[in-house]
Amino acid sequence: MTDIRISRRAALLGAGAIAAWASSPARALFQATDSLAVPAFIDALIAKMTLEEKAGQLQLMASAWGGGVATALNPPSTGPSFEGQIADAVAGKLTGVFNGNGAEMARRMQTAVMKQSRLKIPLIFAADVIHGHRTIFPVPVGEAASFEPDLAMRTARAAAYEAAGAGIDWTFFPMVDIARDQRWGRTMEGAGEDVLVGELFAAARVKGFQGKDLAANDAVMACIKHFAAYGAAESGLDYNSVDLSERTLREIYLPPYEAGFAAGAMSGMASFNEINGIPATANKWLMQEVLRDEWKFPGIIVSDYTGDEEMIAAGYARDGRDAARLAILAGVDMSMQSNLYTLHLPELVRSGAVPQAVVDRSVRRTLAVKNMLGLFDKPFGRIDLKREKARSRTKASLALSREAGRKAIVMLKNDGDLLPLDKSAKIALIGPFASGQHDLNGPWVVYGDNAQAIDLATGIRNAGARNVSVTLGSGVEAPLAGGIDAAVAAAQAADIVVLAIGESEGMSGEAQSRADIVLPEPQMALAEAVAKTGKPIVVVLKNGRALALHGAVKDAPAILVTWFLGSESGNATADVLFGVYSPAGRLPCSFPYESGQEPYHYDHKATGRPAPDGPRVPYKAQWRSAPNAALYPFGHGLTYGKVGYGALTVAPTMAWDGRLEVSTTVTNSGKRACEEVAQLYIHDRTASITQPVRKLKAFHKVALAPGASETVKFTLTREMLQFLGEDLKPTVEPGTFDIWIAPSAQADGAKGSFELVKG
Ligand code: NOJ
Q: What is the reported pLDDT for 613?
A: 87
For ligand 1, atom 1: residue with the closest CA: 305
The answer, yes or no, to whether residue 10 has pLDDT greater than 70, is no
Q: What is the reported pLDDT for 9?
A: 40
Average pLDDT value for residue range 122-150: 98
Distances (CA, A) of 717 to 194, 581, 698, 714, 721: 20, 35, 12, 10, 7
Closest ligand 1 atom to 172 CA? 7
What residue type is 384 in one-letter code? D
The answer, yes or no, to whether residue 27 has pLDDT greater than 50, is no
Pocket test for ligand 1, best of 77, 128, 170 (most atoms within 8 A of CB): 128
Pocket test for ligand 1, best of 221, 305, 336 (most atoms within 8 A of CB): 305
For ligand 1, atom 4: residue with the closest CA: 304
Mean pLDDT of the chain: 94
Q: What is the reported pLDDT for 28?
A: 36
- CA 560–ligand 1 middle distance (angstroms): 30
Q: pLDDT (tens digit, 9 = 90+) per residue, 241-259?
A: 999 999 999 999 999 999 9
> Within its chain, how far is the Cα of 200 from the centroid?
11
- CA 225–ligand 1 middle distance (angstroms): 9
- CA 98–ligand 1 middle distance (angstroms): 10
Pocket test for ligand 1, best of 170, 271, 510 (most atoms within 8 A of CB): 510
Closest ligand 1 atom to 271 CA? 3
- CA 187–ligand 1 middle distance (angstroms): 14
| Domain residue limits, the chain | 17-388, 410-584, 639-757
DSSP state of 121: P
Share of the chain above pLDDT 90, in %: 92
Q: Which of 304, 384, 439, 684 is catalytic?
A: 304
For ligand 1, atom 8: residue with the closest CA: 305
Q: pLDDT (tens digit, 9 = 90+) per residue, 189-208?
A: 999 999 999 999 999 999 99
Distances (CA, A) of 253 to 109, 193, 378, 635: 39, 10, 38, 19
β-strand partners of 754: 737
Q: pLDDT (tens digit, 9 = 90+) per residue, 636-674?
A: 999 999 999 999 999 999 999 999 999 999 999 999 999
Q: pLDDT (tens digit, 9 = 90+) per residue, 571-604?
A: 999 999 999 999 999 999 999 999 999 999 999 9
The closest of 493, 486, 505 to 544, measured between CA atoms, is: 505
Q: pLDDT (tens digit, 9 = 90+) per residue, 710-735?
A: 999 999 999 999 999 999 999 999 99
Closest ligand 1 atom to 336 CA? 10
Q: What is the reported pLDDT for 15?
A: 37
For ligand 1, atom 3: residue with the closest CA: 304
> Within its chain, how far is the Cα of 193 from the centroid?
10
Question: How sure is the predictor about 70, in pLDDT bands with cuts at 50, 70 and 90?
Answer: low
The answer, yes or no, to whether residue 17 has pLDDT greater than 70, is no
Closest ligand 1 atom to 173 CA? 7
Closest ligand 1 atom to 71 CA? 11
For ligand 1, atom 7: residue with the closest CA: 172
For ligand 1, atom 10: residue with the closest CA: 305
Average pLDDT value for residue range 377-392: 97
pTM above 0.75, yes or no: yes
Q: Which residues of 595-630 are buried (b: 16+ CB within 10 A; e: fewer)?
A: bebbbbbbbeeeeeeebeeeeeeeeeebeeebeebb
DSSP state of 222: -
Question: How sure is the predictor about 67, in pLDDT bands with cuts at 50, 70 and 90?
Answer: confident
- CA 93–ligand 1 middle distance (angstroms): 21
Q: Is-contact 538 501, C-beta < 8 A?
A: no
Of the options 3.40.50.1700, 3.30.365.10, 1.10.10.10, 3.30.1330.10, the CATH number for the domain spanning 410-584: 3.40.50.1700
Question: How sure is the predictor about 77, in pLDDT bands with cuts at 50, 70 and 90?
Answer: confident
Superfamily of domain 639-757: Immunoglobulins (2.60.40.10)
Average pLDDT value for residue range 145-173: 98
Question: Is position 603 annotated as part of the catalytic site?
Answer: no
Alpha-carbon span 723 to 719, nearest angstrom: 9
DSSP state of 591: B
Q: What is the reported pLDDT for 759?
A: 78
Q: Is-contact 197 588, C-beta < 8 A?
A: yes
> Within its chain, how far is the Cα of 347 from the centroid?
39
Closest ligand 1 atom to 337 CA? 10
The answer, yes or no, to whether residue 484 has pLDDT greater than 90, is yes
Q: What is the reported pLDDT for 21?
A: 32
- CA 61–ligand 1 middle distance (angstroms): 12
Q: Which residues of 665-687 are buried (b: 16+ CB within 10 A; e: fewer)?
A: bbbbebebbbbbbbbbbbbbeee
CATH class of 17-388: alpha beta
Pocket test for ligand 1, best of 227, 304, 310 (most atoms within 8 A of CB): 304
Q: pLDDT (tens digit, 9 = 90+) per residue, 675-724?
A: 999 999 999 999 999 999 999 999 999 999 999 999 999 999 999 999 99
- CA 226–ligand 1 middle distance (angstroms): 9
Average pLDDT value for residue range 486-495: 98
Question: How sure is the predictor about 434, in pLDDT bands with cuts at 50, 70 and 90?
Answer: very high
- CA 651–ligand 1 middle distance (angstroms): 49
The answer, yes or no, to whether residue 18 has pLDDT greater than 70, is no
Ligand 1 surroundings by CB, under 6 angstroms: 73-74, 99, 128, 172, 225, 304-305, 510
Alpha-carbon span 438 to 477, nearest angstrom: 14
Question: How sure is the predictor about 73, in pLDDT bands with cuts at 50, 70 and 90?
Answer: confident
Question: How sure is the predictor about 101, in pLDDT bands with cuts at 50, 70 and 90?
Answer: confident
The closest of 412, 415, 699 to 583, measured between CA atoms, is: 412
* Most distant CA pair in the chain, distance: 79
Q: pLDDT (tens digit, 9 = 90+) per residue, 447-473?
A: 999 999 999 999 999 999 999 999 999
Closest ligand 1 atom to 225 CA? 5
Q: pLDDT (tens digit, 9 = 90+) per residue, 290-302?
A: 999 999 999 999 9
